[in-house]
Amino acid sequence: MADAGEALNELAIQLRGEGSVISPHVRDPDGEVPGLGMLVAGGPRAANAPAEYAILFESIREGYLLHYSDARVVNGADDDLALLAGDYLYARGLERLAGLGDLEAVRELSDLISLAAQLHAANHGSPDPDDGSGALWLASAITVAAGPPPGHDDAKRALRDGDPAASWALWEGAASVAEKAGLAERLGGAAESIGFRPQ
């Protein structure tokens, strides 16, 4: 895959080709934009393998959606299979990242998966657009793409502790790094792709 914009299509092709229990539930991601993957692929930390970074990040995002929302590539699986598929896609993305030798990004995305699960549990399973998860995804994508914003770990800790200002701190940090790295437009596209609107 040469183009990060094809990350979801490539993910669908790979999952179909694996011939697993997930494969019959794979659909074409018509019109879905892999905004987070494109953001990560555009950063200096992903310069040696931009397409690989795009697909692994979108694999992890798809795992999250299978657990908590509407997936883009894997559809029609029953609840148990959707959870297993989500776990598989988390592991698949992290394994690919470890294969690239990017242990800092492995730590960041492991933290993202854990914190996203905590936020979901705190909302008793109901989606909350203001729970900080959107800002968290964008800040993690920027961290993988171009390095962590100043105060990034503190902002994640505050989000974990339920501080309502943490979401804004994560967004501001992501926007600051994106501006310096020439990724402001991609950050905006990624925010739109996940339905995040800074408040």
- pLDDT tens-digit profile of 6-57? 999 999 999 999 999 999 999 999 889 999 999 999 999 999 999 999 999 9
| 156, part of any domain | yes
- With 80 as the cut, is the pLDDT of residue 127 above it? no
| 101, part of any domain | yes
| 198, part of any domain | no
pLDDT at 128: 55
> How big is the CA angle at 97 (ends 95 and 101), to the nearest 5 degrees?
110
Phi, psi of 94 (to 5 degrees): -65, -35
Q: Which residue has the tokens 């792709």?
A: 193
Band (pLDDT 50/70/90 cuts) for residue 1 is very low
- With 80 as the cut, is the pLDDT of residue 132 above it? yes
| 199, part of any domain | no
| Number of domains the chain contains | 1
- Structural domain for 189, as ranges: 4-193
Per-residue pLDDT reduced to its tens digit, 113-126:
999 999 988 876 55
pTM of the complete model: 0.94
**Tokens for 51?**
């397409």
- The C-alpha R_g of the chain, in whole angstroms, comes to 16
Q: Which residue has the tokens 């294969």?
A: 99
- The stretch 62-87 carries a mean pLDDT of 95
pLDDT at 97: 96
CB 62 within 8 A of CB 74: yes
pLDDT at 30: 86
CB 161 within 8 A of CB 150: no
pLDDT at 129: 52
Percent of the chain with pLDDT over 70: 95
Summary mean pLDDT of the chain? 93
| 96, part of any domain | yes
